[in-house]
A and B are shown apart, each in its own frame.
Chain A
Amino acid sequence: MGMSGSKCQPLRSISIQREPANGAKSHRLIHRISDPAFLTAEHKIVEQEIEQILHQAKSELQSVSQTAQIQALSVQYLGRKGLVTQYLRNISQLPPEQRPMAGKRANEIKMILEEALQKALLEIETRLATEDVGIDVSLPGRTVFQGTLHPITRITRQICEIFTAMGFDIAEGPEVELDHYNFESLNIPKNHPARDMQDTFYVSESIVLRTHTSPIQVRYMEKHAPPVKIIAPGKVYRCDSDITHTPMFHQVEGLVVGESISFGDLKGILTAFVHQMFDDQTSLRFRPSFFPFTEPSAEVDILCVMCRGKGCRVCKQTGWLEVLGSGMVHPAVFENVGYDTSRYSGFAFGMGIERIAMLKFGIDDIRKYYENDIRFLKQF
């Protein structure tokens, strides 16, 4: 299969090049006009010569088969130094009575030749077009491989986009955190059973790997006065490892504080979120729960996205999936950051990103996220 570039020239609209791009001269044609002085100004032309030129051009044309030859002929006869052009230029050498006729005839011949060349070119290109089988368009192109984002990043981004569209700012905080921010300021004192809810990695007595993104709430409130409307994504750590737990995972935390923020608003925001994250048909169920830093607290279940509530393995036959923890910010937390609890109220919520990614992508083993098998990563 010839893949040379010359064959895939597009059919151009017919335009006869008067000047070869490279200035090449067609010596072959010059020799047919026997007198080398022909092209010079001193050459004494005779009237019949133009007929001879026409005749010669026509016979030349009969043997051409390439567009390049046509172009060469065009230059040879009609170019700036072409035979017809020269003839016209030298017409003044003829006797005055011959000049009008000779001029007219020469111009006619110029037209005839132009047309003949056009026609010949068209014929050649038509012929070439029918002969050309083209290229193998099914051959793979020269792709530029696009990399992929980790599924966790994709879901985090999607969550953040939904909330930023609702006017939330993004906040961040350290992954290695003071016990104070991770627990105490969130109303989880030392030696409180609520600490059992989160198996903690300790760095020292007073420093932990954050077990949730909630300390970001506190750090943010310490620096900003209400109203507050933030979303805080990040890595969190708990010492737990099995098919549904990895010692490191990701959460997104949300916090809204203002005057007269209610539990109804919490339901509103989370419903809007779930409908955008999944779809409008995904109903939500809020049920009482306990988090030390919220009161009242609610666990948020969504209708199982796998079975639509009929009951399946993913939802353990309950028809519901637990995806979010939430609640109204506990007054103790506000007191810790110096917010006026008589004036402000707010709600907070948090979700595990791995869990949502599992539902969105149908991933059954959480450990896959951190094995980074390229065959897994390239799917996202």
Chain B
Amino acid sequence: MKISLNWLKSYVPIQMDVDALADALTMAGLEVEALVDRYEYLKNVVVGRVIGITSHPNSDKLRCCVVDSGKAHVAVVCGAPNVQIDCLTALALPGTQLPDGPLIEAGVIRGAGSEGMLCSEGELGLGPDHSGIMILDASLMVGDSLATALSLSDWVLEIGLTPNRSDCLSLIGIAREVAAIQGNSLSYPVIKLPQGKGDIHQMTSVSILAPGHCPRYAARILTGAGVQPSPFWLQDRLISVGIRPVNNVVDITNFVMMETGQPLHAFDFDRLAGQRIVVRTAAAGESFITIDHKSRTLTADMLMICDGEKPVAVAGVMGGCNSEIEADTQSILIESACFEPAGIRKTAKYFGLNTDASHRFERGVDPEGAVFAVDRAAALMVDICGGILVEGLIDERPIIQKRQPLVFSADAANRLLGTQIDSADMDRMLESVGFTVEPMNPDQRKVTPPSFRVDVSRPVDLVEEIARISGYDRIPTTFPVISAGSTRSTPSQSPREQILRLMTGLGFSETITYSFVHPSSCNYLRLEPGDLRMRALGVLNPLSEDQAIMRTSLIPGMLETVHRNFSMQSRNLKLFEAGNVFISNGQDALPDEIEMLCGLWTGARQEVSWHMPDTACDFYDIKGVVESLLAALHIHHARFSRDTAQSCSYLKPGYASGIQCNGQVVGHIGQMHSETLEYFNIKQAIYVFELDIRKLFAAVPNFQQAAAIPRYPAVARDITLILPKALESGQIIEMVQAMRDPIVERILLFDVFEGGHLPSDKKSLSFRLIYRSAAGTLEDEAVNTHHRGISDKLIQHFDAKLP
């Protein structure tokens, strides 16, 4: 909200400079977000003396003047009738932005050079007169800035109000805070209502049919008013706080709203059917045209201000075209009402409107302020619009909520704040912002909040007032005395932390991508209809279509990242992300959030170097990463096999595997399917793995006691088998492991050979078996027997040949 310092000064004398005021307001909880010099736009406007006038070569209306700007003689083309030699006037130099006008630039006007502009007070926004240039007092100094010469000075404070402080949505509200800060008092405007004519109660009536939505409705009527532009001072006030003047009637309602915080609405009384007001909820489907000329369809719970026949305003939000003040309006009904906040908010939201009125009603207006505001507006209208006041006031008040006092304990307040403020000081602080304090005993008092503090409903709200007024900086800084935390969690041991450590150690850089993705992502992954990852949760109001569903896999986000990096010429990437995916349980239930790890490798195996050939990474590189990760977590005997790759529709067939630990598939690994890559416009081979972190850590064995280091030497024996190409080497190793030969310590694959003399459907695999006994050194003969036994079984089982 914008506040003009000059306007503010009409309610409270201000004893500090504007910076100090801004600071003080900020520290009182009314954050001053910006402080703007209102006359900043006049900085290139100076007092100039016209020292030469000649006729314009191409125009009878224009004249060419030479103006002394105090620094130079400036040529200015001027069309004003009142320009005279030697007169002092306002000279706008190039760079000046006139309010609602052009930017002044040096140029040529119909063939004559002009390096500035002589301005009227209207053009400068300093007065109503547009008829000719400003003629300034001859005693002013030529060359002085106009603002200095005329003592024009005002500051606009832009205050970021928190939603609770509706009492500060007005000049008087802010002035009240300033008075409390300075310890002085506030002067309310004095209202002098003239004796009216007739009787309002004979002329009209207000019936509130929805009292729950409208606890109060006050109104006054004027007749014989003249609708005109407002006087300059009124327009100037409104402009200073960013409101556009409309006409005197509307301007007065806005002025009083800014002054008091009470939104007002002026109806053309003669256009109200039946000359009366009915406050009721709308009929569903009813349509209504608001003053912004939009036709709106109403819903049944919306509160409407109606005349004898039809709606004339959306209560508290916006008036209607059918009753708005027009140039020929003579009779005016001024509405000053209280509406229930939640209903107003709902209606305003529904229509996507946020008007000055709805903004205030949503936050709650002072229920005791309605009459003051309507009287203030009526008095101003009599003054300014020349109307005749109708005697009497309508003040329908179906619900009067009496503020109950709160029981406040000074001790409790000090305990909560950690302060030792004297209770008498607390009383004074509360009273300074309008609270009524009635001591019960040395500790407790009954405190009644002022009617405008609709936000105060609990004793703790009073504690905040104390803290705020005494100053947060005066609360001593202490350290909590609390039994040491049980530290149930050791963060560095959390699965996530371990993953982060291991993956960076393996050379992968962490990415964080958005949790929402494009709805087509599931199709891009070529997921089957029954796939769990097809169960995506939609967002009702996404910022864009490509953020419309919650991700069910980390892969689309990773591929987006790859694409973006490729377009920046970064083609060698080792990336990972650890984050949640979301599997929907229907839009009305919380989804399953599953923490996944996704690793991705594309491009070179290692940076270009002198000691290694430049090679691209392949499946076995990414697999090595997974194996290293598993080894670091002490997960041994993980199984990789094509059989477990069923749900890897986004991976290239034959180049994909499940990652199986203890019989459970904890993730997948493989080369990305070219069709998926096409969707992301990627043409380079991409290798990925995805692991379910919870399932992965379920496979981590509890660390048992350390095993003894073997004391006796191992013996190695090799075997080479010729096998069908399609056979997975893992099967051989699994088979050997399944034999559970007690002296087989390990089996490892050390050579794979295809081609050469081998048939095209065959390959040769060479394994090394490490034999060792814990009981003693193995005899060659014994090893040979075991090795022969194992070899024979393998040859037989897999129909293998020896080379």
B643 interface residue (CB < 8 Å to A):
no
> Is there an interface contact between B458 and A142, defined as CB atoms closer than 8 Å?
no
Q: How far is the CB of B564 from the nearest CB of chain A, in Å?
A: 6
* Alpha-carbon distance between A23 and B538 when the two chains are bound, in angstroms: 78
In the complex, whether A169 has a CB less than 8 A from a CB of chain B is yes
Q: Mask for B369-402, Cβ within 8 A of A = 1, else 0?
A: 0000000000000000000000000000000000
Residue A161, interface by CB 8 Å: yes
Inter-chain contacts of B342 with A (CB < 8 A): 189-192
Q: Does A77 contact B (CB under 8 A)?
A: no
What CA separation (Å) do A140 and B507 show in the bound complex? Answer: 18
Confirm or deny: B506 has a beta carbon within 8 angstroms of a beta carbon on chain A: yes
Chain A interface (Cβ < 8 Å from any Cβ of B): 139-140, 142-150, 152-153, 157, 160-161, 164, 167-170, 174-178, 189-194, 196-197, 201-207, 209, 227, 229, 235, 237, 239, 241, 247-248, 256, 258, 260-265, 267-269, 271-272, 285-290, 295-299, 328, 330-331, 345, 369-375, 377-378
Decide: B418 and A265 in contact? CB cutoff 8 A: yes
Interface pairs (14), CB distance under 8 Å: A147-B503, A150-B509, A152-B512, A191-B345, A204-B587, A262-B480, A264-B476, A267-B478, A268-B478, A286-B475, A287-B27, A296-B467, A345-B415, A372-B565
Which residue of chain A lies nearest to B458 when distances are taken between CB atoms in the complex? A331
Whether B464 contacts A153 by the Cβ 8 Å rule is no
A259 smallest CB distance to B (angstroms): 8
A185: min CB distance to chain B, Å: 15
Whether B702 is near chain A, meaning CB under 8 Å from some CB there, is no
* A373 in contact with B568 given A196-B163, A287-B26 (CB within 8 Å): yes
The answer to whether A160 and B491 have CB atoms under 8 Å apart is yes
Q: Which residue of B lies closest to A205 (CB)?
A: B588
Q: Are A203 and B509 in contact (CB under 8 A)?
A: no
Interface membership of B508, Cβ < 8 A: yes
Q: Are A170 and B504 in contact (CB under 8 A)?
A: no
- Give the docked Cα–Cα distance between A167 and B576 (Å): 31
Q: A148-B510, A248-B515, A286-B472 are in contact. Are A169 and B485 (CB under 8 A)?
A: yes
* Nearest opposing residue in chain A for B459, CB measure: A331
Contacts A264-B475, A288-B29, A290-B29 given; 14 further ones with Cβ under 8 A?
A: A146-B504, A191-B346, A191-B349, A193-B341, A196-B163, A202-B539, A258-B482, A262-B417, A268-B477, A268-B478, A296-B467, A328-B416, A330-B460, A372-B564
Within the complex, the shortest CB–CB distance from B587 to chain A, in Å, comes to 5
Complex contacts, B574 vs chain A, CB 8 Å = 145, 147
A260 to B415, CA, bound (A): 7
Given A204-B588, A263-B416, A372-B511, residue A170 in contact with residue B489 (CB < 8 A)? yes
Q: Is the interface of A mostly helix, strand, loop or mixed?
A: mixed
Nearest to B417 among chain A residues (CB) is A263
**Are A263 and B467 interface neighbours, CB within 8 A?**
yes
Known: A267-B478, A290-B164, A377-B509. Contact between A175 and B580, CB under 8 A? Answer: yes
Q: Are A373 and B491 in contact (CB under 8 A)?
A: no
**Closest CB-CB distance, B407 to chain A, in whole Å?**
13
Contact of A167 among B162, B463, B487, B543 (CB under 8 A): B487
Bound complex: CA A372 to CA B567 (Å)? 12
Name the CB-closest residue of B to A161: B491
Residue B660 lies at the interface, judged by CB distance under 8 Å to chain A: no
Pairwise interchain contact A207-B588, C-beta atoms closer than 8 A: yes
Closest residue of chain B to A173, judged by CB?
A: B593
| B513 at the binding interface (Cβ < 8 Å) | yes
| Shortest CB distance A374–B (Å) | 5
A174-B593 in contact (CB<8A): yes
When the two chains form their complex, are residues A202 and B541 in contact, meaning their CB atoms are under 8 A apart? yes
B509–A147 contact, CB under 8 A?
yes
Instruction: Closest B residue to A378 by CB, please name it.
Output: B509
A143 to B507, CA, bound (A): 10
Judge if B111 is at the interface, Cβ distance under 8 Å: no
Give the nearest-CB partner of A204 in chain B.
B587
Q: B539 to chain A: which residues have CB within 8 Å?
A: 201-203, 209
Of B509, B542, B588, the contact of A201 (CB 8 Å cutoff): B542
Give the contacting residue for B507; candidates A146, A167, A258, A289; CB below 8 A: A146
What 1/0 mask marks residues of chain B from 128 to 164 whose CB sits below 8 Å from any chain A CB? 0000000000000000000000000000000000111
Complex Cα spacing A16 to B613, Å: 41
Residues of A contacting B511 with CB < 8 Å?
150, 372, 377
Residues in A neighbouring B547, C-beta threshold 8 A: 247
Interface: B494 (CB within 8 A): yes
Whether B510 and A286, one on each chain, are in contact in the complex, defined by CB atoms closer than 8 angstroms, is no
Q: Bound state CA distance, A260 and B538, in angstroms?
A: 44
Instruction: Report Cα–Cα, A241/B546, bound state, in Å.
Output: 14
Known A247-B547, A374-B565; contact A290-B163, beta-carbon cutoff 8 A:
yes
Please tell me if B590 contacts chain A, counting CB pairs below 8 Å: yes
Q: How many Å lie between the Cα of A267 and that of B591 in the bound state? A: 38
The one of B415, B505, B508, B538 in contact with A203, judged by C-beta atoms closer than 8 angstroms, is B538
* B518 interfacial by beta-carbon distance below 8 Å: no
Q: Is A262 within 8 A of B590, CB to CB? A: no
Residue pair A288, B540 in contact (C-beta under 8 Å): no
Residues of chain A within 8 A (CB-CB) of B463 are: 295-296
